[in-house]
Amino acid sequence: MTDAVGSIDMPDAEDEVPESKKKTRKGGKRGKKGPLGRLALFYRQIVAELRKVVWPTRSQLTTYTSVVIVFVVVMIGLVTVIDFGFQRVIKYVFG
């Protein structure tokens, strides 16, 4: 049975790549450097990624912090109310 791409038994010609055309990787950057070179590369990559970060302004940071603190206080209140409710139910059920 064939479809627009080809048959199930015979793969398409473009899918087949001769063994001589396949590229093999022999270690890349890691294979060429010792442990100190890899550590230096790691730290350079960290610095490069940190430079891409969009840091919040002071007012944005204040707003975000306030929102988080308010959310945490609300959640503490909710859990406290639920806990007291369960405590009352358990005392009622078990005496």
Query: Dihedral through CA 41, CA 46, CA 48, CA 54, nearest 10?
Result: 180
The residues, ordered by sequence, that sit 6+ positions from 33 with a Cβ below 8 Å of its Cβ are 41
pTM value surpassing 0.85: no
- Read off the pLDDT of residues 16-65 as tens digits, 9 standing for 90 and up: 566 666 666 555 555 567 889 999 999 999 999 999 999 999 999 999 99
Lowest pLDDT segment from 3-12, 40-49, 71-80, 84-93:
3-12
> Given pLDDT bands bounded at 50, 70 and 90, which one contains residue 3?
low
What whole-number distance in Å separates Cα of residue 75 and Cα of residue 77? 5
